[in-house]
Amino acid sequence: MEESVVADFVGRVHAASFGTDEPVTGRVLLSQRRLVLATDDGKETVPLSRVFDVVVGSVPGDLRSFFNDSVTVAYEQDGSRRAALVEGEPEDMDKFVRLLFKALLRNVTVTVR
């Protein structure tokens, strides 16, 4: 089965694996199974099955000076907890957030009170 991209845009990204304390320009790709942050120097692939938290509009303290509004995706990889930050144009981010939550909640049973 082919994996199709549901969101694709250029923004500012940060992940510990990039080896820099500052965000860099990168391409953000989202499919139903994974989030990929690609830069000139490498990429970070986040399987959506490993995501345990998503925070919209709040930036962690040590990166607050670099980002205005962002999406922080927390995930587990290789036995440790990591976070990736994404920032883009408002219309790109609105669509990205909607599609990210849609992908994360796909086939999840929920109870509404």
- Ramachandran bin of 19, using left for φ above 0, alpha for ψ from -120 to 50, beta for the remaining angles: left
Strand 34-39 to 80-87 pairing: unpaired
Q: What is the pTM of this model?
A: 0.84
Compare 35 and 2 and report the one with higher pLDDT: 35
Share of the chain above pLDDT 90, in %: 62
Q: Which residue's entry shows tokens 């830069």?
A: 39
Find the mean pLDDT for residues 94-107: 93
pLDDT at 113 over 90: no
Structural domains of the chain, with CATH = 5-105 (2.30.29.160)
Q: What is the pLDDT of residues 44-94, one digit of tens each?
A: 999 999 999 999 976 665 555 555 678 999 999 999 999 999 999 889 999
